[in-house]
C-alpha cells in the first residue's frame, strides 16, 4: 500500500493486515479475496460488502470491538481513524502525564472514534449526531461492547456543534470528522464526492466542511477553555488555510496541523487552543519525508527495448528529459571506467502533469502518420510513454525534484525518481 510510511509511527496498520491469516481465520473473508499468480492473497477493496467485512474483522481482531456497520452507511477506514486518534494522543503526551483521565467529544459520531478511543486509550467520550439512525446504531454498538461507562451518545441539532455539550462542563478535547462536501456539489462532477459511499447527511453539509468547521470555531470562541484542545479533520487540504485564518482572527493561542496518510488516501487535521499553558505540535510526516525523500524513495524500473544499445537508450532518455524541460548537469566521472554518463537532474517547473495525455495525443497523431508512411518505430514511443507515466505519478504533486542519473551500460538510475534498466548490449560506439 503506498503512503504507509507516512502513517503515524504507532499506527499498527503501517504493516498491512496479513490477508493470508485473515483468509484462514475468517472463511467469509475469502468471498472477497482471491489468490494471485504469485500465491499472494488479493483483496477486492472496491467491493463495499468486502470492505465492510474487512473493517469489522479488523475491529474485532485488533481492538476486541464487536461492531455492526449498517449497509449503505459510511464504512470507517480504521487506519485513518487511528492516525487521527494517535495525533490527539501525541498532543496529550505533550501536556499531561499518562495517568490523566481524558474526556472528549466526538462531533458527528457513528461512534467509531468513541469506540476506538474508549477501548484503546480508556478515554471517556460523548458522541453527538443529528441523524436518528446514526444515534441508534451508535448506542447499539456501545451497548454491544459494554462501553456505556465510557461512552455517552447524544442527539443534537443541525445548527450546533459543541455548545449543547460543553457549555457547563470541561472537556480535554473535541474531535470531528465533518461531512466534507457542500450540498452544491451534490450531483456535481466532484470525483471525491461521487466516489464516497454513505448517506447524504454523512457526506454533505451546507457550505461544505469549511463552513461546518467555521461554525465549530465560532462556538469555540464562546467556549474558550471549556475545551482544552479543539481538533477537527478535513477532507480537502485547501480547507486548512481559510480555517487557520479564522482561528487567527479569533485569537486562538496556538494552532497545529496534521497530515493523515493511509493507502492512497490523505486527510488533514487541525488543532487549536485558547489555553496558553497547552502545547500543540504539528504532525506532518509527508513534509518530513519531502526533506528525506531523496534518500527514501525506492527506485522503479522500466525495461527498454532489447534492441537498444546504451547510447541509443541514453539518447532517448536525454530527449525525454529535454522535452520535460529538466535541467541536466553532466557529472561524468572520469575516474570510474564503468560510468559512461552521470548527471544531476533538476526540475524548476512542473512540465510533466498531463504528459500522459499529451503523449497519447502525440502517439495518436504519430500512429496516423505512421499508417501512411509505414514507419515501424512504434515500440520506442510506448517505452517513452512509460517513463512519462512514471514521472507523472512520481512527481504528481507539483513537487520539484532533483535526481542523479548514472549510466554505466547496465542501467540508468534516476535515483528517487526512476530506475531505468538498460540491457547489457554494447553498441558499436562504445
Question: Residues comprising the binding site?
Answer: 81, 129, 177
Pairing assessment for the beta strands 171-176 and 103-107 based on DSSP bridges: parallel
Environment class of 54 (CB within 10 Å of its CB; exposed 0-12, middle 13-18, buried 19+)? buried
Q: Is 158 in the site for ligand SAM (CB under 6 A)?
A: yes
Q: Which of 11, 23, 83, 128 binds ligand SAM (CB under 6 A)?
A: 128
Q: Least Å distance between CB 232 and ligand SAM?
A: 11
Looking at the Cβ atoms of 12 and 199, the one nearer to ligand SAM is 199
Subset of 68-97 contacting ligand SAM (CB under 6 A): 74, 76
Work out the angle at residue 92's Cα, subtended by the Cα atoms of residues 91 and 97, and round it to the nearest 5 degrees: 140
Q: Which of 134, 252, 340, 345 binds ligand SAM (CB under 6 A)?
A: 134
Q: Tell me the torsion sign for CA atoms 178, 184, 190, 194.
A: positive
Stretch that binds ligand SAM, among 60-68, 107-115, 269-277, 379-387 (CB under 6 A): 107-115
Q: Residue 362 is placed in which grid cell? A: 502525440
**CA gyration radius, the chain:** 26
Environment class of 70 (CB within 10 Å of its CB; exposed 0-12, middle 13-18, buried 19+)? middle
Q: Is 131 in the site for ligand SAM (CB under 6 A)?
A: yes
What span, in angstroms and rounded, lies between the C-alpha atoms of 88 and 174?
9
Specify binding-site residues for S-adenosyl-L-methionine.
Answer: 81, 129, 177
Looking at the Cβ atoms of 202 and 413, the one nearer to ligand SAM is 202
Looking at the Cβ atoms of 178 and 259, the one nearer to ligand SAM is 178
Looking at the Cβ atoms of 178 and 208, the one nearer to ligand SAM is 178
What span, in angstroms and rounded, lies between the C-alpha atoms of 287 and 293?
9
Q: In the 8-state DSSP scheme, what is residue 162?
A: S
What span, in angstroms and rounded, lies between the C-alpha atoms of 24 and 26?
6
User: How many other CB atoms sit within 10 Å of the CB of residue 349?
Assistant: 10
Stretch that binds ligand SAM, among 156-164, 294-302, 308-316, 325-333 (CB under 6 A): 156-164
Q: Is 201 in the site for ligand SAM (CB under 6 A)?
A: yes
Stretch that binds ligand SAM, among 101-109, 264-272, 350-358, 396-404 (CB under 6 A): 101-109
Q: Is 316 in the site for ligand SAM (CB under 6 A)?
A: no
Who's near 136: CB < 8 A, 6+ residues apart?
none
Looking at the Cβ atoms of 113 and 407, the one nearer to ligand SAM is 113
Q: How many residues bind ligand SAM (CB under 6 A)?
A: 23
Query: Which stretches of the chain bind ligand SAM, using CB under 6 A?
Result: 74, 76, 107-110, 112-113, 128-131, 134, 156, 158, 160-161, 177-179, 201-202, 205
Amino acid at each position: 500500500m503506498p503512503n504507509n510510511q507516512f502513517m503515524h509511527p504507532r499506527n499498527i496498520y503501517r504493516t498491512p493486515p496479513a490477508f493470508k491469516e485473515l483468509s484462514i481465520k475468517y472463511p467469509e473473508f475469502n468471498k472477497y479475496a482471491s489468490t494471485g499468480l504469485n500465491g499472494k492473497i488479493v483483496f477486492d477493496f472496491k467491493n463495499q460488502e468486502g470492505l465492510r467485512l474487512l473493517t469489522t474483522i479488523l475491529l474485532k481482531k485488533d481492538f476486541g470491538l464487536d461492531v455492526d456497520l449498517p449497509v449503505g452507511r459510511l464504512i470507517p477506514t480504521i487506519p485513518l481513524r487511528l492516525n487521527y486518534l494517535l495525533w490527539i494522543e501525541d498532543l496529550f503526551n505533550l501536556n499531561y502525564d499518562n495517568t490523566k483521565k481524558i474526556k472528549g467529544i466526538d462531533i458527528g459520531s457513528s461512534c467509531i472514534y468513541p469506540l476506538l478511543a474508549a477501548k484503546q486509550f480508556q478515554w471517556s467520550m460523548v458522541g453527538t449526531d443529528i441523524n436518528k439512525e446514526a444515534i441508534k446504531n451508535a448506542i447499539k454498538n456501545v451497548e454491544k461492547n459494554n462501553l456505556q461507562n465510557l461512552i455517552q451518545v447524544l442527539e443534537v441539532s443541525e445548527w450546533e456543534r459543541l455548545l449543547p455539550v460543553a457549555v457547563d462542563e470541561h472537556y480535554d478535547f473535541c474531535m470531528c470528522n465533518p461531512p466534507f462536501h457542500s450540498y452544491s456539489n451534490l450531483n456535481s462532477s466532484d470525483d471525491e464526492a461521487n466516489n464516497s459511499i454513505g448517506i447524504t447527511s454523512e457526506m454533505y453539509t451546507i457550505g461544505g466542511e469549511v463552513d461546518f468547521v467555521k461554525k465549530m470555531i465560532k462556538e469555540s470562541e464562546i467556549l474558550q477553555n471549556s475545551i482544552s484542545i479543539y481538533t477537527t479533520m478535513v477532507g480537502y487540504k485547501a480547507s486548512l488555510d481559510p480555517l487557520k485564518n479564522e482561528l487567527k482572527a479569533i485569537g486562538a493561542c496556538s494552532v497545529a496541523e496534521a497530515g493523515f496518510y493511509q493507502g492512497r488516501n490523505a486527510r488533514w487535521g487541525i488543532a487549536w487552543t485558547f489555553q496558553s499553558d497547552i502545547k500543540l505540535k504539528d504532525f506532518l510526516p509527508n513534509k518530513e519525508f519531502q526533506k528525506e525523500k531523496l534518500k527514501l524513495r525506492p527506485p522503479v524500473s522500466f525495461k527498454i527495448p532489447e534492441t537498444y544499445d546504451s547510447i541509443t537508450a541514453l539518447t532517448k532518455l536525454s530527449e525525454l528529459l529535454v522535452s520535460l524541460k529538466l535541467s541536466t548537469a553532466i557529472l561524468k566521472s572520469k575516474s570510474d571506467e564503468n560510468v559512461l554518463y552521470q548527471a544531476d537532474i533538476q526540475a524548476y517547473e512542473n512540465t510533466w502533469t498531463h504528459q500522459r495525455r499529451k503523449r497519447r495525443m502525440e502517439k495518436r497523431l504519430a500512429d496516423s502518420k505512421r499508417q501512411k508512411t509505414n514507419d515501424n518505430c512504434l515500440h520506442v514511443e510506448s517505452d517513452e510513454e512509460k517513463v512519462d507515466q512514471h514521472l507523472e505519478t512520481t512527481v504528481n504533486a507539483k513537487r520539484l525534484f532533483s535526481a542523479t542519473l548514472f549510466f554505466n551500460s547496465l542501467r540508468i538510475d534516476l535515483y528517487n525518481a526512476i530506475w531505468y534498466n538498460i540491457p547489457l548490449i554494447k553498441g558499436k560506439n562504445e
